[in-house]
Amino acid sequence: MTNFSNILVPTDFSDNSFQAFEFAHCLAKYSKAVLHVLNVVEPILNTEKYWSKDNREGFEKTRELNAEEDLRRFINRISPQGVKIIEALISGKPHEQVLKYSHKNHIDLIVISSHGWTGMSHMITGNVTNKIFRYSEIPTICIKSNNLVIQNGAFSAKSDFAENWVG
């Protein structure tokens, strides 16, 4: 198995995203890699006609503070023993920011989930995971199953829809 130095897990704080985090945590522990956990806060568009600049900036600041708190809570759901974890919070388009972050921080592997909070909206706009797969030059593992089981460092997937992707 290839040893990794830096593993990235983009998260939207969904349960599927947490399963990708658990999987990446096990890989990082095994590889003695640094685990980067990234949340991208998408800016709200077309707010000028509804909100004043001060109200919009206050709302954006509140969203960022909430995302910071959610990120800490998300990471603390597991015991990160033996793994250095770097928390990152960025604003922008998720797939673009994930790709930029991965290059800037010398990421060796991206572990991402599909079907997070976005639901069916990806049928219209294209989901973040698909865009990362299409444009990433870095090896990427997609965890789709919501039945992924990790026990004592052993991985197994229980799914009738076994569509975990490696790209």
Comparing 167 with 19, the larger pLDDT belongs to 19
pLDDT at position 95: 94
Who contacts 61 (Cβ-Cβ below 8 Å, separation ≥6)? none
Cα–Cα distance measured from residue 41 to residue 67, given in angstroms and rounded to the nearest whole number: 8
What pLDDT, in 10s, does the model give residues 11-62? 999 888 899 999 999 999 999 999 999 999 988 766 566 666 677 777 778 8
Residue 80 φ then ψ, to 5°: -80, 35
Assigned superfamily of 6-166 = HUPs (3.40.50.620)
Which residues are registered as beta bridge partners of 90?
40
Is 111 a residue whose pLDDT tops 80? Answer: yes
pTM for the whole thing? 0.77
Q: What is the pLDDT of residue 163?
A: 45
pLDDT of 61-86, one tens digit each? Answer: 888 888 999 999 999 888 778 899 99
What pLDDT shows up at residue 21? Answer: 94
**Distance separating alpha carbons of residues 33 and 85, to the nearest angstrom:** 9
The domain locations on the chain are: 6-166
